[in-house]
Chain A
Amino acid sequence: MSDSKALFGRVAVVDGMSEHPAVEAILAWNPDALTDAKFDRGELTLTIAPDEIRAAAQTVQAAGYNFFEDLTAVDWFPASPRFQLSYHILSHGYKERIRLRVMVEEAEPAVESITTVWPAANYYEREVFDLFGIRFEGHPNLRRIMMPDDWKGHPLRKDYPVEGYR
C-alpha cells in the first residue's frame, strides 16, 4: 500500500484511484461534494464540502467503511479557511483506513454532526467543540467535555497560549 505513488489533487486521485471503493462511492453519490483529494504516504484523504459531511459519512459507511475511528481538528491560523476537521474511518472488510477532511471557515465555525451515522462520534465532536470551538449542528449533547463548563476560550486554537492566560 505505502509503496504506491503519491497523488495530489482531485484530478490525480479521481484518475489514478477510480477503482477505490470510497472514491467510487463518493463520485457515484455526488461528484461535486468532493472538492480535493490526495494519496500520500499510503493514506487516502478526501476533502468534502462542509455542508455535505453527514451525507458523505453515510455514503462511505454504505461503501464498507463501517468503523468510525477518530475525529479531530487542526487550526491553520491565520490561513483561511482556518479549521480542518479530519475524520478517520476504518473498514473492517478492506482492512483499510480513509480520511475525510472538511475545511471550516473561522467565523462561526459549524458543521453537521455525524452522530446519527456513528454514535461513536459523540465524545469526539464534544472534544473538538470544547478545544477548538467548532459547533456540530444536531449533536444530542454538545457541551464541554475536558474543560470546566465556565471555561473561557478554546485551548487547542493556535492563538491560545501554551501556558494559558495568566
Chain B
Amino acid sequence: MAGSVGTPILEAPVAEGASDQHLVLNMGPQHPSTHGVLRLVLEIDGEIVIRVYPEIGYLHTGIEKTCEAKFYQQVIPLTDRIDYLSPMANNLCYCLAVEKLLELEIPAKAQWTRVLLAELTRLNSHLVWLGTHAMDIGALTVFLYTFREREEILRLFEAVAGQRMMTSYFRIGGLSMEPPLDFFPRVQAFIQTFPEKIDEYSNLLTGNPIFVNRLKGVGPLSAADAIALGVTGPPLRASGVDIDLRRDMPYSSYEKFQFKVPISTAGDTWARYLVRLDEMRESVKIIQQALDGMPEGPIKADAPKIVLPDREKMKTQMEALIHHFKIVTEGFAVPAGEVYQGIESPRGQMGYYVVSDGTAKPYRVHMRNPSFATLQAVETMAKGRLLADLVAVIGSIDIVLGEIDR
C-alpha cells in the first residue's frame, strides 16, 4: 500500500522537544472531508495538530505516460479525467498548448465560446466547493442549493458537448461543433437568475455565527508563505497577492473582457470563502460580456490537415475525405519544440508543458495542477490548531485528488 512504510511521522512519531503525550492519527484515505482519496498522517497533542504529512498517489493512473502513446487529438479526453470538476479548464489548457506549438490562429467565435464555457466551468467548480465546504462545517442545506444550480450548468454542458461531466468539447483548432441554436439563450436565462442565487448562499452562510466562527482566523497563510509554497488561485489572492493569469497574462482573448480580481488580505479560511464567492459574481459578468459580444464566424481554424472537416464536406468532397481519413488514422505531425501554457483554472494556475519531437504523438505532456502545490501548504495552515480546523482548511483550499495524483 502506498506509504504504509516510509512516512516520516510514523518513523519518528514525536516531534523534537515534545513530550511523549503525542498521538499519531491516520485521517483518510476514506475520510469524508478529504474530498477524494487523500491520507493525512497527523501527529496530535490532545486536539492540537503538531504535524501533518499528506500521503498521496492513491488515484495515480499514469495519465502523463498514457498521453505519450496517443495522437495529439486523442489526449483531450484524458485531460477531462484529471479534474472531473473543471474538465473544460483542462481541455482549454491542453488545446492552447498544442495550438501554441502549431502556431495556429483560432477564430474569434471559438475563443469567446471557450471563455464563456471556461467561466461556466468556474461556476460549476466553485458550486461544488461551496456545497462540500459548507457540508464539512456542518451546514448541510447549502449543498442542496448549490447542486440545484450546478445541475443547470451540467445541462448546459450536455447541450453543447453531449456529456455532462467529461465534456471534451474543445478541439485543437477550435470547438468540436457549433453550439445548439438555443444554447446562448439558455445561458442567458441561467445567468439572469444566478446572482440572486449567490445572494441566497451568502444569506445562508455569511451571517451564520457557527459558520463564521469555524472559519474566521482559521488556517492563516501569509503572502510570503503562499508564494514560497507554490499556492495559486483563490488561496493566493486571499493572502493578498494580486495575480490572476486571466488578467495578467491573458489567453483565449481574455484581454477583451472587463472584470475585477477579488483580493483579500486576511489570508484565512474566511477570506478564501469570500474571494471565491466574489469570483462567482465576476464570472457571471464575464459570461454576460461573452454573450453580448459573441462574434460571428467559423468555430474551427482554417487548417484542413489539423482540424477535422465538417461531416457534410466529408461526404461530398474528396479532399475533405482524405484529410479526415489521414487525421483519424495517422494523426497530424506537430513541429518539434516545447511549450508551457498557463491558464487560471478554478483552483489556481494550471499549466500544460508539451514537448514535441515532430511526430503525431506528444513526446512528453506534463500537467502543472494547482491542487498539487496547494496541498503542500496544509501543514503551514493547520499547525498548532485544532483537529477540527484541519477539516475547514482542507475544504477551503478546494483540492481535487484526481488532479493531484493524475
Nearest Cβ on chain B to A118's Cβ, whole angstroms: 6
A66 close to chain B: CB less than 8 A: yes
Q: In this complex, what residue of A is CB-closest to B352? A: A70
A145 to chain B, nearest CB (A): 6
Report the Cα distance A8→B405, complex, angstroms: 35
Question: Which of B1, B2, B64, B340 sits near A70, CB closer than 8 Å?
Answer: B340
User: Complex formed: what's the CA distance from A116 to B62 in Å?
Assistant: 29
Specify which of A41, A45, A95, A121 lies most central, judged by the most chain B CB atoms within 10 Å of its CB: A41
Q: What string of 1s and 0s marks CB contacts (under 8 Å) between A39-59 and chain B?
A: 011110100000000000000
Which residues of A lie under 8 Å from residue B373 when comparing CB positions? Answer: 120, 123-124
Which B residues touch A131, using CB under 8 A? Answer: 64
Q: Whole-angstrom distance from the CB of B305 to the nearest CB of chain A?
A: 19
**Are A74 and B57 neighbours in the complex by a CB distance under 8 Å?**
no
A163 to B2, CA, bound (A): 20
CB-based contact A69/B368 at 8 Å: yes
Assuming the contacts A86-B353, A120-B373, asked whether A149 and B5 have C-beta atoms less than 8 A apart, the reply is yes
Specify which of B60, B101, B230 is in contact with A147 (CB 8 Å cutoff).
B60
- Contact check, A123 vs B372: say whether CB atoms are below 8 A apart: yes
CA gap between A121 and B69 in the complex, in Å:
28
Known: A74-B363, A146-B405. A99 touches B8 (CB 8 A): no
B25 proximal to A (CB < 8 A): no
A-side contacts of B243, CB under 8 Å: 92
Q: Which chain B residues border A92 with CB–CB below 8 Å?
A: 227, 241, 243
Point out the residues of chain A lying under 8 angstroms from B295, CB to CB: none
The count of residues in chain A whose C-beta lies closer than 8 Å to any C-beta of chain B is: 42
Given A67-B227, A123-B372: A41 in contact with B103 (beta carbons within 8 A): yes
Q: Is A72 an interface residue (CB 8 A)?
A: yes
Task: Say yes or no: is B56 at the interface (Cβ < 8 Å to chain A).
Answer: yes
Residues of chain B contacted by A145 (CB below 8 angstroms): 56-57
The answer to whether B107 has its CB under 8 Å from any CB of chain A is no
A141 to B65, CA, bound (A): 25
B339 within 8 A of A: yes
Contacts of A66 in B (CB 8 A): 227
B66 in the interface (beta carbon within 8 A): yes
Residue in B1, B65, B248 with the greatest tally of chain A CB atoms within 10 Å? B65
Asked if A10 is at the interface (CB within 8 A of a chain B CB), the reply is no
Which of B5, B6, B56 interacts with A146 by CB under 8 Å?
Answer: B56
Q: How far is the CA of A52 from the CA of B243 in the complex (A)?
A: 30
Residue B229 is within 8 A (CB to CB) of chain A in the complex:
yes
Report whether A72 and B100 are in contact in the complex, using a CB–CB cutoff of 8 Å. Answer: no
- Which A residue sits closest to B375, measured CB to CB? A123
Chain B 1-19, CB within 8 Å of chain A: the 1/0 string?
1111110100000000000
Is B366's CB within 8 Å of the partner chain A?
yes
A151 to B404, CA, bound (A): 19
Contacts of B3 in A (CB 8 A): 148-149
Task: Tell me whether B368 and A70 are in contact (CB under 8 A).
Answer: yes
What 1/0 flags go to A77-102 for Cβ under 8 Å of B? 00000000010101010011101000
Contact A95 B248, beta carbon cutoff 8 Å: yes
Task: Using known A-B contacts A92-B241, A95-B248, determine if residue A69 contacts B342 with beta carbons closer than 8 Å.
Answer: yes
Q: How far is the CA of A69 from the CA of B56 in the complex (A)?
A: 20
Quick one: CB contact mask for A109-150 with B, threshold 8 Å, 1 for yes? 000000000111111100000010000000001011111110
Cβ–Cβ < 8 Å partners of B8 in chain A: 141
CB of A155 within 8 A of chain B?
yes
Cβ contact within 8 Å between A147 and B340: no
| B68 adjacent to A162 (CB under 8 Å) | yes
Collect the chain A residues with CB atoms within 8 Å of residue B57's CB. 144-148
Q: How far is the CB of B131 from the nearest CB of chain A, in Å?
A: 28
Contact of A149 among B2, B228, B342, B405 (CB under 8 A): B2
Of A67, A86, A95, most B-chain CB atoms within 10 Å: A67
Are A120 and B376 in contact, with the CB atoms below 8 A?
A: yes
Q: Is B351 an interface position by the 8 A CB rule?
A: yes
Contact call B375/A99, Cβ cutoff below 8 A: no
Closest to B366 in A: A72
In whole angstroms, how far apart are the Cα atoms of A118 and B2 in the complex?
A: 26
* Interchain nearest-CB distance for A151 vs B (Å): 9
Is the Cβ of A156 less than 8 Å from the Cβ of B376? no
Interface string of B78-113 (1 = CB under 8 A from A): 000000000000000000000011010000000000
A148 near B2 with CB under 8 A, answer yes
- Is B337's beta carbon under 8 Å from chain A? yes
* 10 cross-chain pairs, A with B, having the tightest CB-CB distances, nearest first: A120-B230, A70-B368, A72-B366, A146-B60, A146-B57, A95-B248, A149-B6, A162-B69, A74-B364, A148-B2
24 of the cross-chain contacts (CB-CB < 8 Å) are A41-B337, A41-B339, A43-B338, A43-B340, A69-B230, A69-B351, A69-B368, A70-B340, A70-B368, A72-B366, A74-B363, A74-B364, A88-B351, A90-B342, A99-B340, A119-B229, A120-B373, A124-B373, A131-B64, A141-B8, A144-B6, A146-B406, A149-B5, A162-B65
